[in-house]
Amino acid sequence: MKILVFSDSSTTRQFFSKMEGSKTHSLEYHSPPDLKKVCKTIRTGTFVYYDAGDVSSEGLKNAVKYLENLDRIQYGIIDPNGMWPDVADLFHRGASDYVGSSLVSDKLTEKRIGRVLSFGTLNQKRGSPEEKQERQDYILSGNDWKNVKAGSEYTFTIMFVEIDGFGTLRKQYGRDQLDTLLTRFSDYLTYATEPNQGRIWMSAEPAFLLLFPFNGKQCSPLLTCVRMMIDRIIISTEDIGFNILLSYRIALHIGNIVYRKRGDTGNIVSDTINSVFHLGQKYAEPGGLYMTEDLFPFIPKGLDEYTPSAGTYEGREIRRLRPRKY
């Protein structure tokens, strides 16, 4: 999570000192007058702290009004002088945290920021599906594949999935058995994603890249991927049948791709495809389900608390499904 702190106070910087060097969150300081200038290019999922210690009452009101209308961010107010008398009113305005005089002298901890982020995620404004669509440079591919033509660019939901520990499996099984395992897993992916119009588009042993048409209003493959994580024991037993608990990691992203038919993708050069592969192969941990900030508006409310922040990767905020113990 990227945290922007708008403050010129050394006391406030001391409050954030424990967060400096955090592996989970990145910290960036700016002067309060630069709030609007900096936030013009703010990324989805950023957390903003605004320090009211050196601004006028009117200046604080204007800042809060601006922050509550910023789309898809969370914010908190640092108020060492008690300038905002009605703290509950701030939360009604969408604030996720309030740091009063008694807290400023303390230090912000990872545990506290975790609670703040969870609370803010549950209460952030989502907007209507139409508003979500307007906020992105979507080239909608629709609800199915009827209008998708080879050679044209579209927005897709992109799913990367890779079998974990494949090097160990190579030592354990012969080539024929590995081919059988991969075929069974590929068949399962086709079966599981068919209701969402999913298609296996690329494969590079032991990884698969699937595309789903995107209509700008929902991201149904997300729940399919959650079921894949929850049902891993059943999938391993009924669909794979190799007397192993198969582990795999999944990365989800929404992005634009020039579509080519499967088998005709060898010459495609795409930053979108590269970024999904990087997230899945270089950042995701075994057995994890990760999603980029582009999916955040489409996460069902019931999943909010189960998809905490997983930091930032290649300039994008990342969330992951809370790991499940087996």
Each residue's pLDDT tens digit, 295-321: 998 998 788 888 999 988 888 899 999
Q: Which residues 6+ apart lie within 8 Å of 14 measured at CB? A: 107
Residue 196: φ, ψ to 5°? -100, 15
Average pLDDT in the 197-209 region? 93
Concatenated DSSP letters of 74-123: EEEEE-TT---S-HHHHHHTT--EEE-HHHHTS---HHHHHHHHHHHHHH
Do 75 and 50 meet the contact criterion of CB atoms below 8 Å apart? yes
Each residue's pLDDT tens digit, 216-236: 888 989 999 999 999 999 999
* Whole-number average pLDDT of the chain: 86
* 191: helix, strand or coil: helix
pLDDT of residue 44: 65
In angstroms, rounded to a whole number, what is the distance separating the alpha carbons of residues 192 and 204? 20
CATH topology of domain 129-320: Alpha-Beta Plaits (3.30.70)
Average pLDDT in the 247-269 region? 85
Element (H, E) at 49: strand 47-51
Average pLDDT in the 58-70 region? 90
pLDDT of residue 130: 45
In angstroms, rounded to a whole number, what is the distance separating the alpha carbons of residues 166 and 179? 12
DSSP tag of 321: P
Q: Edge-to-edge, what's the strand order for the sheet holding 289-292?
A: 199-204, 207-213, 153-163, 248-258, 289-292, 316-320, 309-313
* 235: helix, strand or coil: helix
Class of the CATH-defined domain 2-123 = alpha beta
pLDDT of residue 158: 96
pLDDT band at 21 (very low <50, low <70, confident <90, very high): confident
pLDDT band at 1 (very low <50, low <70, confident <90, very high): confident
pLDDT of residue 122: 44
Least confident of 106-115, 245-254, 311-320: 106-115
In angstroms, rounded to a whole number, what is the distance separating the alpha carbons of residues 289 and 295? 13
- Count of other CB atoms within 10 angstroms of residue 143: 14
Domains of the chain: which residue ranges? 2-123, 129-320
Residue 236's nearest CA partner among 168, 184, 183, 177 is: 184
pLDDT of residue 148: 94
Do 271 and 263 meet the contact criterion of CB atoms below 8 Å apart? no
Is 133's pLDDT higher than 70? no
Element (H, E) at 320: strand 316-320
